[in-house]
Amino acid sequence: MHDVLFLAVGSPPGTDRLIRALSLQGLQIVLFVLGALILTRFIQWVTSRITTRIDRSFQENDELVRSETAKHRHSLAQVIAWVAIVIVYIIAAFNIIKALGVPITGFVAPATVLGAALGFGAQRVVQDLLAGFFIITEKQYGFGDVVELAVVGSTETAKGTVEDVTLRITKIRSSDGEVITVPNGQIVKAINLSKDWARSVVDIPLPVGADMGRVNDLLSTVGQQTFADPRMRPLLLDEPSSMGVTDVELDNLTVRMVARTLPGKQFEVSRDLRARIVRSFGRAGIALAQGERIETGAMTPSGVGEARTDPDRTSDPETSRQTS
């Protein structure tokens, strides 16, 4: 009894009111935090359902590659989810501040100063967001595309398959399994190797004295056999053909063979063509140029630029034996 009286008398004035206010405000803050977390999980669940449905429709069809519409929808769903989560957290933060009794109008002057500071200090973030907006709206690339990105300040390009696109960053997985995260504002050039269609390019180095008539006949036969192959026919849009001599040096020359393929399938077609060419030339007794090897690459749909090495970096064993 004496202890109770002592606690009642010894409590500072206003303690009960403070405890009551903290109880009510604390409950509101907890509810706002829980609501934000639940909404975030719900948005992520809905996004996962949408992207899974898009992926399932692709897997159930007989198509070998994703359509441009499917890739764009997948990327758009990821961006909308990211924006929705950001909005949820902003609204929750404002309501928590309001629940604490801090007047929002008091933030006008500090917000002006903070906005000016962010205008100078967060230029890259704004640049990333704007760049990401144009990447999505212009459909430069999307989920599942094979891309090559030139990044500011880096001498090497980032190559791989797009796994995630948001307004701020692009995540791609390289052929080595590494996940590369690139801020959208730092991308100065984006090469999409799997948009609409692609071109397989095989450069064949030969000695200067090679019989070009025989070589062209063999390459024509290889193209016909590849186009007639039931395994390769679905990947090709037209019959592989020889472009003739594309380069002449002092002791060797280069003959190029090209083929239009489905997007992203140019590397598989290049490997098959390379193996067929090596076997055909070996049977015909035609040797490659001394110290050279067959180069395999791919061109963008516009056909502009040099041939690039296959990112899978897989060399055919037969090619290695023939060129060594």
Backbone angles phi, psi at 318, to 5 degrees: -65, -40
CA torsion, ordered 78, 83, 169, 72, to nearest 10 deg: 30
Provide the pLDDT for residue 317: 37
Choose among 34, 28, 12: nearest CA to 101: 28
pLDDT for 61 equals: 60
Alpha-carbon gap, residue 147 to 163, rounded angstroms: 11
Residues 173-182 have pLDDT tens digits of: 888 888 899 9
What pLDDT does 293 receive?
59
Query: Which positions of the chain have pLDDT values less than 50?
Result: 1-11, 14, 299-324
Residue pLDDT, tens place only, 217-246 = 888 888 888 888 888 888 888 888 888 888
Return d(Cα 49, Cα 292) in angstroms, integer.
Answer: 51
Q: Among candidates 253, 245, 258, which has minimal Cα distance to 216?
A: 245
pLDDT of residue 128: 87
The reply to whether the predicted model has a pTM over 0.95 is no
The reported pLDDT for the residue numbered 309 is: 40
Give the pLDDT confidence score for residue 16 in this predicted structure: 60
HSE (side-chain half, CA atoms, 13 Å) at 180: 21
pLDDT of 12 reads: 52
Tokens of 100: 């604490």
